[in-house]
Amino acid sequence: MNLVIIWAIAANCFQETIRDRVLYFLAFYGLLLAIAWPLLREISANTQDKIFLDFGLGVMGLFGAIVAIFIGTGLINKEIEKRTVLVLIPKPISRAEFILGKHLGLSAVLGVMVTGMMGIYLGLLSWAGIAYPLGSIFIAVVYLFLQLALIIAVSIVFGVFTSSILAILFTFGVYLMGNFTTDLVELVRLNENPAIKRLIEILYLILPDLSRLDLKNEAVYGLTKLNIELLTHGLYGIFYTVVLLAIAILIFAQREF
């Protein structure tokens, strides 16, 4: 596997995605927070600071997920539909390098995007005079990036063998279910139907547990601290991403063009 080729594909993907004006999300994010702050002061009494802290991190995750899903599902599918893959694949580029380069490129875009939103977020908090736990927020944002990298991998898996619309729907479904895996465990306990119980258990085992990488609630109260459990969650996200990329490479390798 040639790292130079992977880097070249990633750089090209990064430039193309930036040209798609995804960074306009930064301006929209700042505008949304600027509008939300005075509104929250009006409708909440003594908890507006905590609500605003949570709101800012929540919107950051939502915007990142939108880009990961809508852009990620088209990374490979777009090349297939436009037939540009016919030009790229015959060159000395393996399909694994192609997949990894695309994932790395979009991950870099989301890294820039999340960093920019974090800068806007902290700037507005400082301007509004809201005290915030910087260390906890930083850790939460790092884990948000790991979650988004995992979602990109999910979107690539669906994008290599389905249409763009179906890939978006499937990835969005995994995103929603992945954020409610703890609720699936509760459903297993409450449900008495063996067939449904078994189905829920299978879904729990297969779907990525995105809630492990969602630390915004803990970050708001300054409870996020690096420990063995947190590091385990981070390794879980990285491992799951690697497995998904391996599956995407395997499926893509079987396709004929």
Phi, then psi, of 175 in degrees rounded to 5? -60, -45
Residues in the chain: 257
CA–CA separation, 13 vs 18, rounded Å?
9
Confidence tier at 78 by pLDDT (50, 70, 90):
confident
CA–CA separation, 165 vs 171, rounded Å?
10
Give domain limits for the chain: 3-254
Confidence tier at 201 by pLDDT (50, 70, 90):
low
Confidence tier at 54 by pLDDT (50, 70, 90):
confident
Mean pLDDT of 6-17: 87
Of the CA atoms within 13 Å of residue 207, those in its CB half-sphere come to 26
Confidence tier at 47 by pLDDT (50, 70, 90):
low
* Residue 244, both tokens: 């998904």
Please state which of the ranges 31-45, 130-144, 173-187, 189-203 shows the lowest mean pLDDT: 189-203
Is the pLDDT assigned to residue 200 strictly greater than 60?
yes
- 141 in Cβ contact with 228 (< 8 Å): no
- Segments in the chain forming alpha helices (H): 3-19, 24-43, 48-72, 74-81, 85-88, 95-128, 134-159, 164-178, 181-190, 194-206, 216-220, 228-254
- Give which of 20, 116, 108 is closest to 71, Cα–Cα: 20
Phi, then psi, of 71 in degrees rounded to 5? -85, -40
Is the pLDDT assigned to residue 109 strictly greater than 90?
yes
pLDDT number for residue 106: 93
- 204 in Cβ contact with 184 (< 8 Å): yes
Mean pLDDT of 76-100: 72
CA–CA separation, 133 vs 38, rounded Å?
21
- 250 in Cβ contact with 101 (< 8 Å): no
pLDDT number for residue 97: 87
Confidence tier at 104 by pLDDT (50, 70, 90):
very high
Q: State pTM to two decimals.
A: 0.88
